[in-house]
Amino acid sequence: MTGHQHTIHAAHHHFGWDNSIDPVMEVEPGSTVEFEIIDASGGQLNRNSTAADVAAIDFARVNPVTGPIFIKGARPGDVLEVEILDFGRAEWGWTAIIPGFGLLADEFPEPVLKIWDLSEGKAEFAPGIEIPIKPFPGTIGVALPEPGLHTIVPPRQNGGNMDIRHLTRGARLFLPVWVEGALFSVGDTHAAQGDGEVCGTAIEAAMTATLRFQLHRNQSIAEPRYILPGPPTPEADAKGYFVTTGFASDLREAARKAIRYQIEHLQQTAGLSREDAYMLASVAVDLRISEVVNAPNWLVSAFLPQAIFR
């Protein structure tokens, strides 16, 4: 029935995009669905885990997504609208430096793990440093048109592991439909993240996500789009930012430089270790492209919100 609410339990999850996976259920456009979502480690980490557990993570079991669900009437060439309504509270979360992964992977070869206590509705990184909780799904999308299993790690034309931290309560995401029924899945919920997720992880946390689906027929788009209901970062803007910049002829290298300078700043001003500064940048610092027209160099800025320092 249109408008009816359903629940998809976390047991119904899969690893990778594959349009041959049978849907968990069929729902009408207009339906609201609550998804139970496993953390990005696929349950391999817990409150008592250590850095040794990070080093032992099986990458074949990371980023599970709950679903898929079949949207009745959805056909290739349509657009699926996903309205993000709410999230359940997470009790705990984790952030890690995973060897071989992240923007500065070559500079951080050792595993590091931080466990967050989120039970009181706040995320304290260290005494005097508190990150605003703003949950969102890091991975969200529909099945790809190509047959076979496709890794869930990179973003694609179906959405996927986009890590768009602004897809929080009130946002509306528009996804191109590639197969009949769309076959929508969602996972990789985060309690907070900076734009860029530079160390490779955010505040990773299991939680529920409640979404509502609408279908727009014959309004084909090539890649995802989204609408935000208001300013993207009101929780961070009030006290301004400390910004570092990096230039290079390659945008990724420019981003690496901007983050490297921000890490140095956090070491000098907040007394953090280099590893802690890297993880803090991943959950709080926003990367922004400042210019891409003045060849041969491009510029990236890294915004550190001063509101996180209490």
Query: Could you please report the per-residue DSSP string of 154-182?
Result: SEETTEES---TT-STT-EEEEE--STT-
pLDDT of 1 reads 36
Same domain, 242 and 139: no
pLDDT of 5 reads 86
Q: What is the pTM of this model?
A: 0.96
Residues of the chain with pLDDT under 70: 1-4
Output the domain CATH number for residue 14: 2.60.120.580
∠ CA 68-224-21, rounded to 5°:
20
pLDDT per position as a tens digit, 262-272: 999 999 999 99
- Domain end, chosen from 227, 247, 274, is at 227
Same domain, 171 and 272: no
The DSSP code for 61 is G
Average pLDDT, the chain: 97
Output the domain CATH number for residue 266: 3.10.28.20
For 42, the domain range is 5-227
**Is the bond leading into 68 cis (omega within 30 degrees of zero)?**
yes
Number of domains in the chain: 2
